[in-house]
Amino acid sequence: MGCGTNIVRGLFFAFNLLFWILGIVVLGIGVYSRVENDTWKELIDSETIFETSNLLIAAGVIVTIIGFLGCCGAIKKYQWMLVTYAIIVLLIFVLEIVAGAYAYSKREKVQEELTKGLTKGLQKNYDEADKANEGVTKAMDWFQQNVKCCGATGPEDWLKSKWYEKKTNKTEKVPKSCCRSVKSGCNINVSWNSQSIWNYGCVARGKDFAKDNLWLIGGVGVGIAIVELFGIGFAFCLCMAFRKDENEVV
């Protein structure tokens, strides 16, 4: 085996080791996105984020396996394995481009659905004593705490909600999940510009939050896909190098 082939072989092995690690990262991002978005899925009917997260999880699993196979192909010098590797990586490339493009194309729909879900949840469903609305209440509390917001357009929106209408103690103007630090009395007699609660509306902050999630999912997928193109090139270069060495031996 020539020195050039050894160099290409070593580079390909190193690349696929990195590829394997990146596959784990993609899988982790997909799982993270799915878990985080599952927490507030009661507020949004759109399946865009969940579908894209699932695509990314599938791609991460396959990329991890393919990275491992690429290393084996380089060590064992199996050309058929390298060709198969390149074809499958190309398919994964297409899958991840589709995931990124799909997430980007649906961003406006996700934002619209989120706005509707937040407004309806706040005005009608929050803290209602039935099983159907229990998930909405938990989702609203989680969203306000994690996105750092309060109300649809601002904290004052809670005064128009069924939750506030049923209150006998009208000094409790917002739920405790609006508090920057959740503790007893943190939501009592607060002003709308009080530093003890979040002063930003969840619609505006929610749009940024959804956009960040979609950019995370789509951006990582497209970024890894570009790296995969180098893997395909390395695979074919290594096949040509192995074939050249075989011809020289003959």
Residue 183: inside a domain = yes
Is there a single domain that holds both residue 44 and residue 131? no
Residue 209: inside a domain = no
Residue 72: inside a domain = yes
Whether 195 and 59 have beta carbons less than 8 Å apart is answered as no
pLDDT at residue 48, as a whole number = 52
Neighbours of 224 (CB within 10 A): 23
pTM of the complete model: 0.54
Quote the domain boundaries for residue 27.
3-107+214-249
169: β partners: none
pLDDT at residue 20, as a whole number = 75
pLDDT at residue 197, as a whole number = 94
pLDDT at residue 218, as a whole number = 64
The token pair that represents 250 in the structure block: 């003959």
pLDDT at residue 113, as a whole number = 74
pLDDT at residue 100, as a whole number = 66
Structural domains of the chain, count: 2
Is there a single domain that holds both residue 157 and residue 133? yes
Is there a single domain that holds both residue 189 and residue 160? yes
pLDDT at residue 233, as a whole number = 79
132-136's contacts with Cβ under 8 Å and 24+ in sequence apart are 135/42, 136/42, 136/43
Write out the chain's pLDDT in tens, 250 residues.
455 567 767 777 777 777 777 778 777 877 776 666 555 555 554 455 566 667 677 777 777 777 777 777 777 777 777 788 888 878 877 776 776 677 667 767 766 777 777 777 787 778 777 666 777 788 888 889 988 999 988 999 999 888 898 888 789 999 999 999 988 889 898 988 889 999 989 888 877 776 776 666 666 666 767 777 777 777 777 777 777 766 665 5
pLDDT at residue 57, as a whole number = 77
Neighbours of 181 (CB within 10 A): 8
Distance CA 194, CA 36 (A): 28
Distance CA 70, CA 19 (A): 9
Is there a single domain that holds both residue 200 and residue 218? no
The token pair that represents 10 in the structure block: 């070593």
Whether 241 and 5 have beta carbons less than 8 Å apart is answered as yes
Is there a single domain that holds both residue 66 and residue 122? no
The CATH number of the domain holding residue 128 is: 1.10.1450.10
pLDDT at residue 167, as a whole number = 84
Distance CA 230, CA 250 (A): 30
Is there a single domain that holds both residue 103 and residue 114? no
Distance CA 128, CA 85 (A): 54
pLDDT at residue 13, as a whole number = 77
197: β partners: 179
Residue 89: inside a domain = yes
pLDDT at residue 46, as a whole number = 47
